[in-house]
Chains A and B, each alone.
Chain A
Amino acid sequence: MAGTWGRFNIAALVLGFAFLYLPILLLVIFSFNESRLVTVWAGFSTKWYVQLFSNQGLMDAAWVTARVAFLSASIATVLGTMAALALTRYTRFRGRLLFSGMVFAPLVMPEVITGLSLLLLFVAINFDRGFATVTIAHITFSMCFVAVVVQSRLISFDRSLEEAALDLGATPTRAFFQVTLPVIMPAVISGWMLAFTLSLDDLVIASFTSGPGATTLPMKIYSQVRLGVTPEINAICTILIGIVTVGVIAASLVNKRREVIRRRDEAAYA
């Protein structure tokens, strides 16, 4: 195998992945550092984790972020799936061009502009900024990501399955929930996860659209990083990295299992 793949390729991958993972790895290692200095190793310690959990400000921010992410990802998944259905199923409706433009534009819109424009809207209609406005902002940009993910799955979906259900007397709603939705479910789930992490991650849009009492974790981390590095931040970053890693690995295992079951079923019917 090494003959066709080559040393050059292996070197490219090793260097590339070292570049991608070394900073994260160093962050994790130094979160267990005894010293306050982030660059000097002074022995193993979990004291920053202990301090982290007694830091009320950070804990509050984490709770706000989790609620915003959960709520916005869930609503964005519903809206994004609807948008994907509208774009793939209904080739002709009034303003379709505008609609597809609005679905794709937020994907390339700089965050500073999305944040600024939403803030100006909330100010214009006199809407108090806080938890609700951050959630609305996150729904708006992440529904577009969900739409793209679900749409790519819907395009390859065999519509005759749904038509068969309709011919057999299922109502359109029932056909959707019993035939279409189960088939596109992996895409819907990964859309939700994408929306969830986008929301967890967002600093810029949240900074524009949140108000007093709704400080998200990235906003808190950002302000602390600007004041000077604190080891607690390393600890909270490590926890977040851990959660995401476990989540992604679990999701891929579930996907793999589903794939195996699907193949087995197909083989059984064939």
Chain B
Amino acid sequence: MKSLTSALLNRVVIAVPYLWLLIFFLVPFFIVFKISLSQPAIAMPPYTPTFDLSEGLSGLWAGLSEMSFSNYLWLTEDALYINSYLSSLWIAGVSTVLTLLVGYPMAYAMARAPENLRPILLMLVILPFWTSFLIRVYAWIGILKTEGLLNQFLLFIGIIDQPLVILNTSTAIYIGIVYSYLPFMVLPLYATLEKMDQSLIEAAQDLGCPPLSSFWKITFPLSLPGVVAGCMLVFIPAVGEFVIPDLLGGSRTLMIGKTLWNEFFANRDWPVSSAVAIVLLLILVVPIVFFQRAQARSQEKGA
């Protein structure tokens, strides 16, 4: 009797989250896929059900025969989409490099900090992550706009005599992404730098290696797993980012998350926005697979 209830419990523990994710993650994904293949007129609001379940298999076949790749063709015909994808990848790439440049010295300093200071520094990095993303991006509007605090400050100290136009340019997006995703870069870097064996550096220095070259020859290569993890954690979400380009980038800078949003909410073209989503996912599969391989490799090394 006891083993019977425990077997039942085991099943419940697996089945409940499993079913939840099937219904609310996998099925929706297939619906997006299905709608991306449908004719614009059918799926645009007013909307007809995707799967006519009452018709069973024949309904499914009818649906399959109506499939069309016209939405995907449309994506290649209008330069807007291609430009959005390319500019998203470019912006995410540049911001990832910038985040690395800002985050590496921070992580390095944290890892070398006195041991009793480290938990506090770690918490200081995590704390902004707990405060609203939207609010933190919003805070930058007041800083970056033409009459904003940054320009006031720069004018005051006399570096510039004309206010700079930063808000509504891609520079503002770079700042926004570096700022918002900095903790994602610092935490994995810190984790690898912190557990690094310091005696290697000491040995190099004893043998006469100057600090900078011991950094490039020992510290940096050993921290590569953290660099890869940090870059992926910044790059992958940055590609699909909506809030930062929308609030800081203005109307002229293109990013695919914003294009998808506009396609859906402004143009109300559901099939095309579904196709945009599917292509975005396909683009992201490459870095995700690369990331998982790198993770698996570093785990093998560690074991």
B59 contacts the other chain (Cβ, under 8 Å)? no
Contacts of B105 in A (CB 8 A): 8-9, 12, 16
A123 contacts the other chain (Cβ, under 8 Å)? yes
B242 contacts the other chain (Cβ, under 8 Å)? yes
A-facing mask of B245-275, CB < 8 A → 1, else 0? 0010000000001001100110000100110
Query: Would you list which residues of chain A between 218 and 250 have a CB under 8 Å from chain B?
Result: 218, 221-222, 225-226, 229, 233, 237, 240-241, 244-245, 247-248
How many Å lie between the Cα of A10 and that of B103 in the bound state? 14
Contacts of B128 in A (CB 8 A): 20-21, 24
Across the interface, B242 reaches (CB within 8 A) one of A111, A143, A197, namely A111
Across the interface, A108 reaches (CB within 8 A) one of B31, B114, B264, B284, namely B284
| Interface residues on chain A, size class | 35 or more
Whether B149 contacts A222 by the Cβ 8 Å rule is: no
A38 contacts the other chain (Cβ, under 8 Å)? yes
B209 contacts the other chain (Cβ, under 8 Å)? no
How many Å lie between the Cα of A154 and that of B25 in the bound state? 24
Whether A83 contacts B17 by the Cβ 8 Å rule is: yes
How many whole Å from A133's CB to the nearest CB in chain B?
A: 10
* Best-buried of B12, B29, B273, B284 by chain A (most CB within 10 Å): B29
Contacts of B110 in A (CB 8 A): 13
Contacts of A247 in B (CB 8 A): 130
Whether A117 contacts B31 by the Cβ 8 Å rule is: yes
How many Å lie between the Cα of A95 and that of B131 in the bound state? 37
How many Å lie between the Cα of A4 and that of B111 in the bound state? 12
Whether B139 contacts A102 by the Cβ 8 Å rule is: no
Whether B133 contacts A5 by the Cβ 8 Å rule is: no
Smallest CB-CB separation from A197: which chain B residue?
B130
How many whole Å from B225's CB to the nearest CB in chain A?
A: 17
Whether A5 contacts B134 by the Cβ 8 Å rule is: no
How many Å lie between the Cα of A241 and that of B142 in the bound state? 17
B162 contacts the other chain (Cβ, under 8 Å)? no
B-facing mask of A172-209, CB < 8 A → 1, else 0? 11000000000000000000000001001101100110
Whether A23 contacts B242 by the Cβ 8 Å rule is: no
How many Å lie between the Cα of A79 and that of B18 in the bound state? 9
Across the interface, B264 reaches (CB within 8 A) one of A105, A116, A225, namely A116
How many Å lie between the Cα of A208 and that of B6 in the bound state? 40
Whether B35 contacts A120 by the Cβ 8 Å rule is: yes
Contacts of B145 in A (CB 8 A): 39
B112 contacts the other chain (Cβ, under 8 Å)? yes
Q: A9-B109, A24-B136, A80-B17 are in contact. Are A30 and B142 (CB under 8 A)?
A: yes
Q: A95-B18, A113-B281 are in contact. Are A102 and B25 (CB under 8 A)?
A: yes
Q: A27-B142, A229-B142, A240-B135 are in contact. Are A117 and B32 (CB under 8 A)?
A: yes
A260 contacts the other chain (Cβ, under 8 Å)? no
Contacts of B16 in A (CB 8 A): 79, 82
Whether B139 contacts A172 by the Cβ 8 Å rule is: no
Contacts of B29 in A (CB 8 A): 117
How many Å lie between the Cα of A221 and that of B288 in the bound state? 32
User: Could you jot down 7 A-B contacts, CB within 8 Å?
Assistant: A24-B131, A30-B142, A83-B21, A89-B10, A124-B49, A147-B17, A201-B132
Chain A residues with a Cβ under 8 A of chain B: 1, 4-6, 8-10, 12-13, 16-17, 19-21, 23-24, 26-27, 30, 38-39, 79-80, 82-83, 85-86, 89-90, 93, 95, 98-99, 102-103, 105-106, 108-113, 116-118, 120-121, 123-124, 126, 136-137, 139-140, 143, 147, 171-173, 197, 200-201, 203-204, 207-208, 218, 221-222, 225-226, 229, 233, 237, 240-241, 244-245, 247-248, 252
